[in-house]
Structure 1
Amino acid sequence: MNKILLLLILMFPLSEALAQTTVMVSEGILKGTEEASGIRSFKGIPFAAPPVGDLRWKNPQPAKAWTGTRDATHFGPKAMQRAIYSDMVFRSNGMSEDCLYLNVWTPAKQATEKLPVLVYFYGGGFAAGDGSEPRYDGESMAKKGIVTVTISYRLGIFGFLSHPELTKESPTHSSGNYGLMDQHAALVWVQKNIAAFGGDSEKVTIAGESAGSMSVSSQVASPLSKGLFRGAIGESGSCLGINSVSPLKEGEEKGLKFMTAANASSLADLRKIPADGLLELTAHLDMNRFPVTIDGYFFPQSPIKIYGTGLQMDVPLLAGWNSAEVNYHSLMGNDSLTLTNYQTKVKTLYGDRADEVLKLYNAATDADVEQVATDLASDRFIAYATWKWIDLHSKTDGKPVYRYLFTHKLPPMVQPLNPPSRPLLGAPHASEIEYAMGNLSLDKVYAWTPDDYKVSATMQNYFANFIKTGNPNGEGLPTWYGLQSSIPKVMILDVESKSQPEKNLKRYVLLDSIYNK
């Protein structure tokens, strides 16, 4: 039967196969699902060989071909990770070190349609997350005429361990950054295979949030990815932030420290430890995170130098962040919100630059501290890093750059917390994802209102237009000016979205002078 099916697919146009939710990719035949909306989905597609055994801590290798028809109706397993973030909901098939799978949603009725493509990288601090999360679901974006792909990549110690022995055994004389290399391998797979789903390999845009946005900025910077996509979207994060990327030596030192703490004498010993045991060790040793490194291969030099000298990919960029990425606790801890406590904290953090910081993050009374501390905490956490990426790309790249600020506050929860949490001062980290991807209905935590759906429609349409054309503007939307235009403005995304002049440039310039000496 499988030989007959293969013969039929070779004899008849792929458009017929696609209409039957059956496609042929470079590794074999896939059988997907037709959703009620008419969108066709293909889940759990291997884009690389399982990174297990001797392939643990090696660059991803090509996926092996299969015989017969492979079921692509369920998500693959998520990458090895601990339960770190309470807002993550998974539809994955368990958890495994064998995790290099991707998912495709396509509106195409024929494989010859050459539709634009979105490849989305999830967030989670490079320690958690998965392409199966409902907030990243691709069906809604596919309804906009976009072939949408989510991928999984290695996390934590599995995706970012550096070690002198790993560097020595590597043919590229590098180690770490395996998670980023997984993303690269997925992009290569998309180039080879997305036409089978009606997508155009020359119209690929990559996007991501938080660590996913850091990944997007990293892929734009890496010479390995040149030619694999034509546009980039970043939501809250970049590889140009405070301590975002470390020298390879620092990563190797952490790897040595881990090996010693794990009572292992060699890489062979570490590779023999079962995945569950290795994950448990990272928790026990409080070493959940391993740094992205300037490895000499994926990053031939530091990202700041790559962007600063214009060596990154020449692609349009749409990026921004949220108005209250983190709350004041990230700066103040559990200290009471008094002017004295705030000033003391700033002086401790910034020393002889404290007066400059206090002038721009100015709190005149105790009542001002919560907002000002939230602003500074959010900038330190991720807003500054995103600004730096946008700023450098707009100066060293000839393509348009569009910047946003997402200010829409989340609605009340369906089941409010008891006791209730303190009201948010703005839009918190990661809250924009469901809006951007058109997936509010898949999140059952919040009591969404018509205003929420209005914001989502606006944001998703901007994103969809950018994916299709490299420009977010379109009919019925407020005009979004590029930063290189004669009227550089920031798009405020809220119930009434609007472009307005930059208000906080001095803050980011000050932080830049402190962090990039």
Structure 2
Amino acid sequence: MCQTRDPPENMVKITRQLTASKGFVMTTRFRSLCLFLMLGVATPLFAQDNAPLVTTPQGKLIGEYASRNNRVSVFKGIPFAAPPVGQARWTPPQPAPGWTGERLATDFGPDCMQQPYPEGSFFYRPARVSSEDCLYLNVWTAAEENANKPVMVWFHGGALTRGSGAIDTYDGTELALKDVVLVTVNYRLGVFGYFAHPELIAESPNFSAGNYGILDQIQSLRWVQENIRAFGGDPSNVTIFGESAGAWSVHFLTASPLATGLFHKAIAQSGARMDTRVALDQQTSAGASASSSGTRLAELMGAADLAALRAMPARQLLDAAADHSFRTDGIVDGWVLPEQPFVQFSGGRQNPVPVLVGFNAEEGTTLGAGSSLPGTAAAYEERINAIYGDLADWVLEIYPSTDIRKSSLDSFRDSTFGWHMVTWANLTRHVQQPAYLYFFTHRPPGPMAQELGAYHASEIAYAFNTVHTLRNQPTAIDYRLGDVMSDYWVNFAHHGVPSAAGQPEWKPYSNAERNYLLIGAQISAEQNLLPDNWALFDRVMDRRR
């Protein structure tokens, strides 16, 4: 965006909030005028003709140039679905209406309703405005219209209860400079995105309820199919990617027949759902049915029926769900998720796309896995016996009591992340598509580097090549790794094969050749990542089904 002169930053912010957050549209007859807002004085805020403008099937959008590189145009807060408010709460998303004139797209939309991480939490960040009216996405592009560049669509993490597409680490500037169009997406979270109830099932023509967050993600992919050419993207070459709950989402989308044909490759960083999931209307080993849990929550909140639940103020509903420990997750409902993912993938009934999956060496250090360790070897062994029963001796062979902290962190990593990612890579053979496995071991810089290690989510800044957003000053090694790792990711989006110039060849994973890429300060092609660990958890997970 070209400013004719620099107004005070607070005035720019106020104006943008008055425009972008309320869906402001500039009519065509004002196209070459400036917007004024400063105590009645005629001070030009921006000259529209010097800002990036795209014409989409929805309407025209005025964006801005990326602050780090003006070769990249950024369009923020684009509605991809109608606001899911009022009677639309807990309904599948509907397409966003279009507009006439030109819509200002220079501010992120609100986050979806959520409670912030507690202050002092490792993942705490200052809260942004949140709202039920939150179904917006953001686009970074250095391409011309109809340039047919690969598209990468990012789904954020946060346990399906927190997060946003507006986080600095997800800035798409560097990936756009590597010849892709980058999209980040908001989707409904927590009780707004994953609540099921008998009355919702009854009103659904598909006899389904609860996967509204996944349906939002699917709607965002439909938006990409219909609109991304205007930003220079190729709708026939779309890669979805995400981390943690964003990777769960990628896994669910790979499982959902409703997403078939909307994407063509998938990257999942530290997250999949290969263990048994909650079902809509029957109990499983994962727990009570989603509909009975929803009924129980309504009773605890004193809501007599669905009408009362929909009339409840959003903040009241959010707080009540948190107070009553409402569980948020994808639901096997027979429509969005037709069957248990492990069963589906074992039978080759998932969407047949190449995948790139992996996990980090010390996932648990920032997730509480090291916070309540047994004080003695005997206490550790007692805990293992209580959890694993007659498999305890096998567990103790792999995770011995001689180093309680390391064994506890490693077993948490392998059961919560590693087994799921390796299993996904392995089962992709059933759809005759390649799978690429990685193991991220690089320790980001900082005074706690040795204690935290390659912690959960630490790889994101390297995949986005946004290492400047790390908590501590990056080193030359960090900048180099960000450049190389993002090359692997981008080339996978381009061609379906992850590669980086001058770096090791990343070979596909298979039962015969269990290849993986070790991503550390040095990158190397390896084989047979922790095979005994996966054999153990194959047995453990099989017993739990």
Q: TM-score, normalised by structure 2?
A: 0.86
Matches within 5 A, 1:243-254: 243-249=276-282, 250-254=289-293
Confirm or deny: 8 A CA contact 1:215 1:239 kept in the other structure. Answer: no
Distance 1:170 1:90, change over 3 A: farther
Distance 1:332 1:352, change over 3 A: farther
The answer for unaligned runs of 5 or more in structure 1 is: 7-16, 414-420
Confirm or deny: 8 A CA contact 1:91 1:133 kept in the other structure. Answer: no
Confirm or deny: 8 A CA contact 2:443 2:450 kept in the other structure. Answer: no
Confirm or deny: 8 A CA contact 1:209 1:433 kept in the other structure. Answer: yes
The answer for unaligned runs of 5 or more in structure 2 is: 1-25, 32-47, 283-288
1:333 Cα deviation after fit: 5.3
Distance 1:459 1:88, change over 3 A: farther
Q: Which amino acid aligns with 1:187?
A: L
Match of 1:282 among 318, 321, 343: 321
Residue number in structure 2 paired with 1:45: 78
Query: Matches of 1:337 and 1:107 in 2, distance apart?
Result: 55
Residue number in structure 2 paired with 1:114: 148
Residue number in structure 2 paired with 1:471: 497
Query: Matches of 2:407 and 2:365 in 1, distance apart?
Result: 10
- Percent identity, aligned pairs only, is 38
Q: Which amino acid aligns with 1:296?
A: G
Query: Matches of 2:341 and 2:66 in 1, distance apart?
Result: 41
Find out whether 1:189 has 2:223 as its counterpart: yes
1:424 Cα deviation after fit: 2.2
- Give the paired residue count: 491
Query: Matches of 1:88 and 1:67 in 2, distance apart?
Result: 40
Query: Matches of 1:62 and 1:307 in 2, distance apart?
Result: 30
Find out whether 1:369 has 2:404 as its counterpart: yes
Confirm or deny: 8 A CA contact 1:326 1:381 kept in the other structure. Answer: no
Query: Matches of 1:239 and 1:219 in 2, distance apart?
Result: 11
Query: Matches of 2:220 and 2:49 in 1, distance apart?
Result: 21
Find out whether 1:172 has 2:206 as its counterpart: yes
Distance 1:334 1:486, change over 3 A: closer
Residue number in structure 2 paired with 1:301: 339
Query: 1:75-97, CA deviations, whole angstroms, 9 ceiling, x for partnerless residues?
Result: 000000011264254695x1101
Q: Secondary structure at the match of 2:436?
A: strand
Confirm or deny: 8 A CA contact 1:23 1:196 kept in the other structure. Answer: yes
Query: Matches of 2:481 and 2:349 in 1, distance apart?
Result: 36
Q: Secondary structure at the match of 2:111?
A: coil
Q: Which amino acid aligns with 1:236?
A: S
Query: Matches of 2:539 and 2:490 in 1, distance apart?
Result: 36
Q: Secondary structure at the match of 2:131?
A: coil
1:456 Cα deviation after fit: 1.3
Confirm or deny: 8 A CA contact 1:89 1:133 kept in the other structure. Answer: no
* Between 248-257 and 43-52, the greater mean CA deviation after superposition: 248-257
Match of 1:429 among 423, 440, 456: 456
Query: 1:350-401, CA deviations, whole angstroms, 9 ceiling, x for partnerless residues?
Result: 11111121122234x3xx22212211011122222222222211x3121211
Residue number in structure 1 paired with 2:63: 32
1:474 Cα deviation after fit: 3.5
Residue number in structure 2 paired with 1:495: 521
1:410 Cα deviation after fit: 1.9
Find out whether 1:101 has 2:136 as its counterpart: yes
Residue number in structure 2 paired with 1:87: 123
Residue number in structure 2 paired with 1:320: 358
Query: Matches of 2:368 and 2:281 in 1, distance apart?
Result: 28
Residue number in structure 2 paired with 1:198: 232
Query: Matches of 1:458 and 1:397 in 2, distance apart?
Result: 29
Q: Post-superposition, which runs of at least 4 consecutive aligned residues in structure 1 deviate over 6 A?
A: none
CA RMSD of the aligned region, Å?
Answer: 2.2
Distance 1:142 1:18, change over 3 A: farther
Match of 1:128 among 152, 155, 162: 162
Q: TM-score, normalised by structure 1?
A: 0.90
Find out whether 1:348 has 2:386 as its counterpart: yes
Matches within 5 A, 1:199-214: 199-214=233-248
Query: Matches of 1:82 and 1:317 in 2, distance apart?
Result: 32
Query: Matches of 2:267 and 2:293 in 1, distance apart?
Result: 31
Distance 1:244 1:143, change over 3 A: farther
Confirm or deny: 8 A CA contact 1:332 1:342 kept in the other structure. Answer: no
Q: Which amino acid aligns with 1:348?
A: A
